[in-house]
Amino acid sequence: MSKRQLTKKQQDFRKRLLAQVHLSQKYTDFYAYYEDDYRSMLQQHFSVRSAAELDIDELIALVDFLNYRTKAPVVHATEAQVKYLRNRWAAKAKAPTENGMRKLCQKLFGFMPLRIESLSKKQVSGLINAVNRM
């Protein structure tokens, strides 16, 4: 969960989202009986062992996944993240092309995205870290 302080409205919304997680269709049909699988799914997609550790955006993605609205709980990168990544890439890369950045994704993640915007927040964060280490 993010370190910033949430407003009262945000706290209430977050509590409702946490309740929705445990009342969702996939949770009640499957994960309620197989807690290890639930924890593994959280670990795989969000790098946490409990939904209580997720921020609001991640909880929304999780609820959508658990209610069969999406195939995987993915929180896409923000415009600000993508803009920052592109600026850092332009400053650090020897050949700052979009294709070069996609090739770096291939090395880091094992696939080459069609668009950087299609990456998850977590993937873009990893990409930013890699670019900053260049």
- Residue ranges of domains in the chain: 8-66, 79-132
Tell me how crowded residue 47 is: count the other CB atoms within 10 A of its CB.
9
- How does the average pLDDT of the chain come out, rounded? 86
Q: Which two tokens stand for residue 123?
A: 């993937």
Say whether pLDDT at 84 is over 90. yes
pLDDT value of residue 4: 66
Query: For residues 36 and 8, what is the distance between their CA atoms, to the nearest angstrom?
Result: 32
User: CB-based contacts of 84: which residues, under 8 Å, 6+ apart?
Assistant: 128
Contact indicator for 73, 45 with CB cutoff of 8 Å = yes
pLDDT value of residue 114: 82
**C-alpha neighbours within 13 Å on the C-beta side of residue 134:** 19
pLDDT value of residue 1: 45
Say whether pLDDT at 13 is over 50. yes
